[in-house]
Amino acid sequence: MLKQQPKWVDSVFKKLSKKQRIAQMFFVAAYSNKSKEFTDSIAKVIKKEKVGGLVFFQGGPSRQAMLTNQYQKVARVPLLIASDGEWGLGMRLDSTIAYPYQMALGAVQNKELIYKMGLEVAKDFKRIGMHMNLAPDVDVNNNAKNPVINYRSFGENKYNVTEKAGAYLKGMQDGGLLVSIKHYPGHGDTDVDSHYDLPQLKFTKERLDSLEMYPFKELIKQGAAGVMIAHMNIPALDATPNMPSTLSKPIVTGILKEQQNFKGIIISDAMGMKGVVKYFKDGEADVMGIIAGNDILELSENSKRAVKMVRMAIRDQRLTIE
């Protein structure tokens, strides 16, 4: 069955128009606790814009499963369904199990328990029709003033973070769930939340390589399926003023793909966050994100506009359809 999948993917892809192929790179936000008007609007986006996937947020498991079935029925190409579940479904959904925060897992001595938790999280996700967990968070939490990572990290020791995240990752992937380690190249030592502004990491390339990027490099070797790129300005890696790492070709392609040899799925952090849209407006960030090397752009401000702008960029030879 698995051997036949590449042939099926190729056959479906060849039938898509250029516009539809571009739209497959965009994931939109979905909720199972909102009005019928909202859920109908998502179905309309799926049907008309042919987006590639959904990222589910708040709601409930039964409602989400029913909505997923409805959305898959109107999709021309099966949707990839994802969610942020760093401590399982309980991070987003009511009446579901919330496993320990990652900082608690960092203190667990027996990593086999963390592996088994990963297996259970995979079962929970798959039971309601999801394919990908946008986790684990592998940031090294070495700044007490960090407003956004904190208990989401396995801790401040890069070796412990790597070991415990590796056990969790392996459990989920052995359970048949795609994962996305985040927030590349490392959001642990920041004092700004990228939801509200653009953090800047002023460290040397050597420091970043030996500390912030250490868990990512090791977990890529262990077979992590996906990497999520953070919105951070890192002058040592890209000197362009106010350039978020998400939109940086030297970082996404030059370092992650070429130097670190990552061959999996590269997904952006949410494209509507202030760390991006404060400096790159009116959809330009979406074009730059694809030029940088992202495979999936999560939660664009306007996916319809983004697809149109990407088509224009192809026409203007800023990027190619390949």
For 82, phi then psi, to 5°, come to -130, 165
Residues 151-169: pLDDT tens digits?
999 999 999 999 999 999 9
Q: Do you find a cis peptide bond into 187, omega within 30 degrees of 0?
A: no
114-152 tens-digit pLDDT: 999 999 999 999 999 999 999 999 999 999 899 889 999
> Average pLDDT for residues 95-111, to the nearest whole number?
97
The pLDDT of residue 322 is 63
Q: Which domains does the chain have, with CATH numbers?
A: 21-315 (3.20.20.300)
How far is 80 from 78, CA to CA, in rounded Å? Answer: 7
Given a cut of 90, whether residue 88 has pLDDT beyond it is yes
Average pLDDT, integer, range 94-113 = 98
pLDDT value of residue 282: 84
264 pLDDT higher than 90: yes
- For residues 49 and 22, the answer to whether their CB atoms sit within 8 Å is no
Task: Check whether 1 has a pLDDT greater than 50.
Answer: no
Question: Which has the closest alpha carbon to 30: 18, 14, 46, 19?
Answer: 46
**Position 319, amino acid:** L
pLDDT at residue 76, rounded to an integer: 92
Strand partners, 200: 233
> Over the stretch 6-42, which tens digit does the pLDDT of each residue have?
788 888 888 899 999 999 999 999 999 999 999 999 9
pLDDT for 58-69, tens place per residue? Answer: 999 999 999 999
